[in-house]
A and B are shown apart, each in its own frame.
Chain A
Amino acid sequence: MKKYLFIRILKSIFSILVVVSIVIVMVYKLVPTTKMFGNDAGYQRLKGIDKKIYEYNQLERLGYLDYVTTTDMCSEVYGEDGLSACLAGENTQEAYKAFEDRGYTIEVINDVDEKGQPATATIGYRYYNPIELIANFYSKLIVIDNPWAVEDANNPDLERKYYIGQDQNGIPALMCSGCNYKYQIYFDGSFPFIHQNIIELDLGDSYPTRIGVSTVSIIYSGQGSQSPFMQTFPTGVERSSALMQHTCRYKANPDHMDTQLFTDNYASCDARYDAPSMVNTSLIMGFISLVLAYIIALPFGVAMARNKDKLVDKIGIVYINLLIAVPSLAVIFFLKYIGSFFTLPDRFPQLGFGDIRSYIMPIIILALISTPSLMMWARRYMVDQSNADYVKFARAKGLSQKEIYTKHILKNAIIPIVNGIPQSVVSCLSGALITETMFSIPGMGKLLPDSIKQLNINMVLTLTLLFTTLSVIAVICGDILITVVDPRIQLAAKGD
């Protein structure tokens, strides 16, 4: 089992890498770069040379190309000594030549500067080839925090060490001086209770929407408005603040506001928000609706199988056909309309996260939409099993119909259903597109289509990595779950 899982996980990681690599190449090579600037308001305000240079800077930041200015080229070729001579005009052509030989394109931009005067700039750039793109993506992907992470010339005496300290609540935590994060491992009351800041994923920043915010924090950090709470800061000041001290990072130049609260440079903290993050929003709704769907669909499907061709079965088949045949958009509109009779809001932000009524309709709709297929499969598996020989023998043994269904058929029919549960959980995240759009729910469902539309390549890559990883994990979990319900299946590698 252990060996099997190890091999399985290795294979899974390999497949994730392959999928993400393909998407990386597709995204960088097939998406037209000119279009994505259209959504950038800052870019629209620039003109002339600055606009062009901003473009190359941004493309470099997104990982498309390596961008070099004349200064870069001169200092690269002639070093500090020949730099001024090079910039003055001597040898510049040689520097350009050297870079052209390295595969760079040298471009002379003749345009106007910000004042409208004609100006010239010479720059060089080189687009990365697919191998470099993939290598760049993975090489910066995982960031491991360490006591030598902070480089601050103003603070040469910064201690470099790990130590066990206490957080503001008096709970012990693994802390660090010199690391990017002050708290490396800490405990708190929110799931999963033990948290770490040692390993972080760097998937780049979002662009062209929410410029400068990392894609990971768009998905994971809270939404809504800041939610302050009473807390004690290291200086002993007690005040109501939204800052979460566990997330504090090193800040090179703390201002006097920071020194009021913090005794050291770790003063750049995330704030607490009153609404859950995008991923949590989708997960909360998705999970509740999933449980609801299973609670409705399984007993109904089983009842249909037990009363095959009778009234219950016929009603169920009509229901299944209706829900599958009618477009889900129409179903959602219809249910929203019914919900409005019970004074339930037809858009999520009307009452917001704090009000339970905001959740009722989306959850009911999500649950109902996933019931028909669940019911259909539950019924089909049950009917399949009820024709099996062991059922015939169970009858001959003198068991009643009810006993045969509950003790024998159900246990067999549940096997394929159990296998699919983890995948349903994952699809909560990505599968609620229409419902989330209809109710304007700030969840994950819209994120991927939106970021594709906006050509937000880092976000697309982040979501690709997230969804592939979750899907692969779900498949493994499904297979592990199946071993629990089916004694015949054991996960074992050859020679185990």
Chain B
Amino acid sequence: MENNNIILSVKDLVVKFKVRDRVLTAIRNVSLDFEEGKVVAIVGESGSGKSVFTKTFTGMLDLNGKVTNGEVWFEGKNLMENKTDEDWLKIRGKKIATVFQDPMTSLNPVRTIGYQISEVIIKHQGKSKEEAKKEAIQLMERVGIYNAEQRYNEYPFMYSGGMRQRIVIAIALACHPKILICDEPTTALDVTIQAQIIHLIKDLAKEYGFTTIYITHDLGVVANVADRVAVMYAGQIIEYGEVEEIFYDPRHPYTWGLLSSLPQLGEKGSELFAIHGTPPSLFEEIKGDAFAPRSDYAMRIDFEEEPPMFKVTDTHFAKTWLLDPRAPKVEKPKVIQNLHEKLLALTAKGGIYGEH
């Protein structure tokens, strides 16, 4: 993973939460480097720690959460050394911006759209009210709001969901951040709007040159936008690689399961694939491979010892004993064997993530 263009580097991160007098380990020893200008997608099921992981970059963990170990290096500084809110204010919004899932509630209902955009510009760029207004209107136009000048003084309830998400993106971009974290940015939107928003973020990333981190469980989005994919399970990254590698040459049984459950692959008349069982409780210490109890390919070692990160290619890593030379050779499930062709066929039919 050696690269000189690394913008954010996470090392051995452990995040623990105190929930009703019990300690829950949400992130277990995660290390990951983010390359400048690349789009990284973090996928995984609910509760796998995707959001918590990115929240540590901006110091936005809930009050009962704490980083107990690890470092996050950004611009030559270990962010985990930030103690006060003051320290974080230099990063949050200014250098690392976040777009949240629900645009319907992300905006203050009783403040005008214009106020909420200008506020950030005034705060972080130190501009005057008039300058901020001018820039806010430009931003609104850039994210595709017509009549920006008139709509500047309108309230969020006068905007549709898609337009609100555009505003949220405009606010996130108001300070030209280095990194944009999109925490499920399209989950609350309908599919046509989803595609528009994703294209908008893609275009803006090119224009403003920021690094994008997507958090999603929508593999369709991942296939469309990501350069790199990190698959998370039970607080760990279990597979990481180029998007093609993850989609066409996945190595971890969990990734196989995820891909097999793509509804697009379902055939008429047969049941959709689902990974059986439930994720492990994070309150208890996990022994071996966290996915082993749900895996069809689990070996005895999976229950005894945690697998290391095996290197598949220079860019592709997976955390499973199946990659050990001593492990038996296992074929990935049939349904995802020629995923490339299947997905291409879907795209050709004019699926929502096809070219516009």
Which residues of A line the B interface, CB within 8 A?
A: 388-390, 392-401, 403, 407-408, 411-412, 415, 485-488
Among A388, A390, A415, residue most surrounded by chain B Cβ atoms (within 10 Å)? A390
Which residues of B are found within 8 Å of A411, using beta-carbon distances?
108, 110-111
Whether A392 contacts B60 by the Cβ 8 Å rule is yes
Whether B108 contacts A398 by the Cβ 8 Å rule is no
Whether B92 contacts A395 by the Cβ 8 Å rule is yes
Which residue of A is nearest B90, CB measured?
A398
Q: Bound state CA distance, A112 and B120, in angstroms?
A: 94
Whether A390 contacts B157 by the Cβ 8 Å rule is no
26 contacts between A and B (CB under 8 A): A388-B105, A389-B100, A389-B102, A390-B106, A392-B60, A392-B100, A395-B92, A396-B172, A397-B120, A397-B171, A397-B172, A398-B89, A398-B91, A398-B94, A398-B175, A399-B93, A403-B123, A407-B111, A408-B111, A411-B111, A412-B108, A486-B110, A487-B109, A487-B110, A487-B157, A488-B109
Which residues of A are found within 8 Å of B109, using beta-carbon distances?
390, 412, 487-488
Query: Would you call B97 an interface residue if the criterion is a C-beta within 8 Å of the partner chain's C-beta atoms?
Result: yes
Known: A396-B98, A396-B100, A403-B123. 13 other contacts (CB 8 A): A389-B102, A389-B106, A390-B105, A392-B60, A392-B100, A392-B106, A393-B106, A396-B172, A397-B92, A398-B89, A399-B93, A400-B86, A488-B157
Report B144-184 CB contacts with A as 1/0, cut-off 8 Å: 00000000000101000000000010011001000000000
Q: Bound state CA distance, A488 and B352, in angstroms?
A: 34
Q: Bound state CA distance, A488 and B110, in angstroms?
A: 7
**Residues 43-96 of B contacting A (Cβ, < 8 Å):** 58, 60, 85-86, 89, 91-94
Q: Which residue in B110, B155, B157, B168 is a CB contact (below 8 Å) of A412?
A: B110
Which residues of B are found within 8 Å of A407, using beta-carbon distances?
111, 119
Report B112-146 CB contacts with A as 1/0, cut-off 8 Å: 00000001100110000000000000000000000
Tell me what chain A mostly uses at the interface: helix, strand, loop, or mixed.
Answer: helix
Query: Would you call B339 an interface residue if the criterion is a C-beta within 8 Å of the partner chain's C-beta atoms?
Result: no
Whether A408 contacts B108 by the Cβ 8 Å rule is yes
Query: Would you call B107 an interface residue if the criterion is a C-beta within 8 Å of the partner chain's C-beta atoms?
Result: yes
Q: Bound state CA distance, A408 and B92, in angstroms?
A: 18
User: Which 5 residue pairs spanning A and B have beta carbons closest together?
Assistant: A398-B93, A389-B105, A396-B98, A393-B106, A397-B93
Q: Bound state CA distance, A388 and B155, in angstroms?
A: 17
Which residue of A is nearest B154, CB measured?
A487
Which residues of B are found within 8 Å of A412, using beta-carbon distances?
108-110
Whether B89 contacts A400 by the Cβ 8 Å rule is yes
Q: Interface size of B by Cβ–Cβ distance < 8 Å?
A: 30
Which residues of A are found within 8 Å of B105, using beta-carbon distances?
388-390
Which residues of A are found within 8 Å of B111, using beta-carbon distances?
407-408, 411
Which residues of A are found within 8 Å of B93, using beta-carbon distances?
396-399
Which residue of B is nearest A403, CB measured?
B123
Whether B110 contacts A415 by the Cβ 8 Å rule is yes
- Whole-angstrom distance between the Cβ of A384 and the nearest chain B Cβ: 13
Which residues of B are found within 8 Å of A488, using beta-carbon distances?
109-110, 155, 157
Known: A397-B171, A401-B85, A488-B157. A390 touches B107 (CB 8 A): yes
Whether B124 contacts A398 by the Cβ 8 Å rule is yes
Whether A398 contacts B120 by the Cβ 8 Å rule is yes
Q: Bound state CA distance, A407 and B91, in angstroms?
A: 21
Q: Bound state CA distance, A471 and B105, in angstroms?
A: 35
Which residues of B are found within 8 Å of A393, using beta-carbon distances?
98, 100, 106-107, 168, 171
- Whole-angstrom distance between the Cβ of A307 and the nearest chain B Cβ: 13
Which residues of A are found within 8 Å of B120, using beta-carbon distances?
397-399
Among B94, B105, B124, B172, residue most surrounded by chain A Cβ atoms (within 10 Å)? B105
Among B85, B86, B91, residue most surrounded by chain A Cβ atoms (within 10 Å)? B85
- Whole-angstrom distance between the Cβ of A492 and the nearest chain B Cβ: 14
Whether A396 contacts B110 by the Cβ 8 Å rule is no
Which residues of B are found within 8 Å of A400, using beta-carbon distances?
85-86, 89
Which residues of A are found within 8 Å of B98, using beta-carbon distances?
393, 396
Whether A396 contacts B89 by the Cβ 8 Å rule is no
- Whole-angstrom distance between the Cβ of A409 and the nearest chain B Cβ: 9
Among A389, A401, A407, residue most surrounded by chain B Cβ atoms (within 10 Å)? A389
Q: Bound state CA distance, A407 and B120, in angstroms?
A: 12
Q: Which residue in B91, B119, B155, B157 is a CB contact (below 8 Å) of A397?
A: B119
Which residues of B are found within 8 Å of A396, using beta-carbon distances?
58, 60, 92-93, 97-98, 100, 172
Which residues of A are found within 8 Å of B92, using beta-carbon distances?
395-398
Which residue of B is nearest A389, CB measured?
B105
Which residues of A are found within 8 Å of B155, using beta-carbon distances?
487-488
Among B86, B93, B175, residue most surrounded by chain A Cβ atoms (within 10 Å)? B93
Among A390, A393, A398, residue most surrounded by chain B Cβ atoms (within 10 Å)? A398
Which residues of A are found within 8 Å of B172, using beta-carbon distances?
396-397
- Whole-angstrom distance between the Cβ of A411 and the nearest chain B Cβ: 5
Q: Bound state CA distance, A397 and B106, in angstroms?
A: 11
Which residue of A is nearest B183, CB measured?
A396
- Whole-angstrom distance between the Cβ of A413 and the nearest chain B Cβ: 10
- Whole-angstrom distance between the Cβ of A459 and the nearest chain B Cβ: 45
Which residues of A are found within 8 Å of B123, using beta-carbon distances?
397-399, 403
- Whole-angstrom distance between the Cβ of A104 and the nearest chain B Cβ: 66
Which residues of B are found within 8 Å of A389, using beta-carbon distances?
100, 102, 105-106
Which residues of B are found within 8 Å of A395, using beta-carbon distances?
60, 92
Q: Bound state CA distance, A299 and B106, in angstroms?
A: 26
Which residues of A are found within 8 Å of B175, using beta-carbon distances?
398
Q: Bound state CA distance, A403 and B124, in angstroms?
A: 13
- Whole-angstrom distance between the Cβ of B214 and the nearest chain A Cβ: 16
- Whole-angstrom distance between the Cβ of A388 and the nearest chain B Cβ: 7
Q: Bound state CA distance, A411 and B119, in angstroms?
A: 15
